[in-house]
């Protein structure tokens, strides 16, 4: 099928993305079997000192938090679909295919990092979980500033690497500030995108971006309810944090749809 922006989203793309997600699941399962299941031999995630969300850890299991772990693959599926679409011959967006592919890769990294955290509740799992968030948030921020300031691709890449590198160093040295740093990067990305980059994106469908923000806001509400025990059934497979993952993946997908809706001059000519 073809969406309104002329980008094919057919069953083949969905099936391929699902297959790639299944392969990533198999790879992570192999990694967990190699390193676990005695996760107590590793340094614990910093959240274990307070609360690692509502889901009760299945002590002794290979996957300590199954609902929170498996739901994380929603990010991986969305990321693989972004990559499949950006590499198709029907891609006609001004959003460069290379950038779209990397954005998809960051979404995959978010998902797999989240699996490693919730399956192990280790400090190294937490590190990869937050790193994925920095890769994605940093991309959104640099994308907004580079479109506003009309930076060349080479400069954008350098700024992105420096920004993400600095965030990762801080994550390693001061892991307790991870959430605040991500919140700052995300808010800055939204402000620069709406206030400065959006007017530079010709023909872009802003409704996708605002829908993504609304979805993220709903996800954050559910995250808070789960984190503080307001919405909590520890032994249930229906977890608020798992819903946060699925809503977060949806938000990233909507952001991707916003980026790809920007038309090139050629695509405008063809559509007129």
Range with lowest mean pLDDT among 7-21, 28-42, 71-85, 175-189: 7-21
CA torsion sign for 127, 130, 136, 140 is negative
Burial 18-35 (b: 16+ CB within 10 A, else e): eebbeebbeebeeebeeb
Of residues 183 and 6, which shows the higher confidence score? 183
| pLDDT tens track for 93-140 | 999 999 999 999 999 999 999 999 999 999 999 999 999 999 999 999
| pLDDT tens track for 47-105 | 888 788 999 999 999 999 999 999 999 999 999 999 999 999 889 899 999 999 999 99
3-state secondary structure of 122: strand
* Distant-in-sequence contacts of 32-39, Cβ < 8 A, 24+ apart: 32/62, 32/63, 32/119, 32/120, 33/62, 35/120, 36/62, 36/119, 36/120, 37/61, 37/62, 39/64, 39/120, 39/121, 39/122
What is the pLDDT, as a whole number, of residue 265? 58
Q: Is the pLDDT of residue 272 over 90?
A: no
What is the pLDDT, as a whole number, of residue 249? 98
| pLDDT tens track for 144-158 | 999 999 999 999 999
Confidence of residue 270 (pLDDT cuts 50, 70, 90): very low
What is the pLDDT, as a whole number, of residue 268? 44
What is the pLDDT, as a whole number, of residue 53? 94
Q: Enumerate the H helices of 121-177 as residue ranges.
A: 123-149, 153-173
| CB-based contacts of 246, cutoff 8 Å, min separation 6 | 71, 74
- Alpha-carbon distance 77 to 88, whole Å? 17
What is the pLDDT, as a whole number, of residue 7? 47
* Whole-number average pLDDT of the chain: 93
What is the pLDDT, as a whole number, of residue 9? 74
| Beta carbons of 124 and 42 less than 8 angstroms apart | yes
- Alpha-carbon distance 120 to 109, whole Å? 16
Q: Is the pLDDT of residue 269 over 70?
A: no
- Alpha-carbon distance 244 to 216, whole Å? 8
């Amino acid at each position: 099928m073809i969406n309104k922006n002329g980008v094919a989203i057919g069953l083949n793309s969905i099936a391929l993305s699902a297959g790639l997600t299944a392969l990533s699941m198999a790879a992570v399962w192999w990694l967990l079997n190699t390193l676990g299941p005695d996760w107590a031999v590793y340094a614990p995630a910093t959240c274990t000192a307070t609360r690692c969300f509502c889901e009760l850890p299945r002590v002794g299991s290979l996957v300590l938090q199954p609902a929170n772990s498996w739901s994380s693959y929603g990010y991986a599926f969305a990321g693989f679909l972004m990559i499949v679409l950006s590499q198709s011959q029907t891609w006609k967006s001004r959003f460069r295919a290379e950038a779209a592919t990397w954005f998809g890769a960051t979404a995959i990294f978010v998902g797999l990092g989240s699996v490693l955290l919730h399956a192990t509740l280790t400090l190294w799992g937490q590190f990869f979980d937050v790193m994925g968030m920095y890769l994605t948030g940093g991309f959104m921020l640099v994308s907004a500033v580079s479109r506003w300031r009309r930076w060349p691709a080479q400069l954008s890449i350098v700024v992105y690497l420096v920004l993400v590198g600095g965030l990762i160093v801080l994550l390693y040295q001061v892991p307790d500030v991870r959430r605040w740093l991500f919140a700052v990067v995300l808010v800055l990305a939204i402000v620069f995108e709406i206030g400065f980059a959006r007017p530079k994106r010709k023909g872009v469908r802003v409704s996708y971006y605002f829908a993504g923000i609304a979805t993220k806001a709903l996800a954050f509400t559910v995250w808070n309810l789960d984190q503080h025990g307001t919405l909590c059934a520890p032994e249930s497979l229906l977890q608020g944090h798992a819903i946060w993952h699925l809503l977060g993946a949806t938000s990233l997908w909507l952001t991707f749809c916003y980026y790809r809706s920007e038309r090139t001059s050629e695509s405008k000519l063809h559509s007129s």
